[in-house]
Amino acid sequence: MKHESARFQAAIERFDALHREDPRLVEVEGQRIPYEQLYARRMSEWLERVAPEASEALQLAVRAQHLQRWRIPRDDYPRDRPGYLAWRRDLGRQQADQAATVLAEVGYDNEVCERVAALIRKENLRRDAETQALEDTACLVFLQYYFADFASEHDEAKLLRIVRKTWNKMSPRGQALAATIPLSASHQALVQRALA
């Protein structure tokens, strides 16, 4: 699945440099690294399981999906459903535009730049296999690495809703991979209640 072209490597290095600007640090195995840099690595790692033959465009989109996400804080939007949706829409546009700019600067043509941007904006979800693979990857990263912390901050009713929405966004392949993620007994029970 790996693409070793010079421009692919240059794009990944540029994306990772932007991820390293994230002021939020997390500790992993005794090392403090920027939150979004870790997230991007986890996305690329999961993509190898979701779509082992992923195209170059999909690999680039997965790596850039949260490009400088911290620059558009959730708190800048109303704390309701329309505010959340507006925040997600604006994030997707900004991240897609920034990724396309980086790709053009390292030598990709307009067709690849536009394809990566469309994937990041999650256009044609369900109808486009690559967009669905990106969504599956994001859901799997959430379930493996972020669900436990999220669960500790929210009540059960909200968690049941989130689990159902996450599950429904995934393809059957994504759901099968999700079933392989080890969860604590309490979180496993919660997932089973959500999907019952």
pLDDT tens digit string along 67-102? 999 999 999 999 998 999 999 999 999 999 999 999
107: which DSSP letter?
Answer: T
For 13, 30, 39, 82, 181, the CA distances from 136, given in Å and listed in that order, are 24, 29, 15, 24, 13
What is Dmax (Cα atoms) for the chain?
Answer: 49
- What's the Rg (C-alpha) of the chain? 17
Q: Which residues contact 94 (CB under 8 A, 6 or more apart)?
A: 67, 68, 71, 72
Is pTM beyond 0.85? Reply is yes
AA letter at 176 = A
Distance (Å, whole) CA 8 – CA 14: 10
Q: What is the pLDDT of residue 3?
A: 61
Torsion angles phi and psi, residue 25, rounded to 5: -110, 145
Domain boundaries, the chain: 1-121, 129-196
Q: What is the pLDDT of residue 94?
A: 95
Q: What is the pLDDT of residue 152?
A: 86
Torsion 180-51-84-18 (CA) sign: positive
Distance (Å, whole) CA 18 – CA 99: 10
Q: Which residue has the tokens 């996450």?
A: 166
Q: What is the pLDDT of residue 150?
A: 87
User: Can you name the residues that pair with 26 across neighbouring β-strands?
Assistant: 33
Residues of the chain with pLDDT under 70: 1-4
What does the block give as tokens for 48?
A: 């190898």
Distance (Å, whole) CA 115 – CA 136: 18
Q: How crowded is residue 185: how many other Cβ atoms within 10 Å of its Cβ?
A: 7
In angstroms, how far is CA 153 from the centroid of its own chain? 20
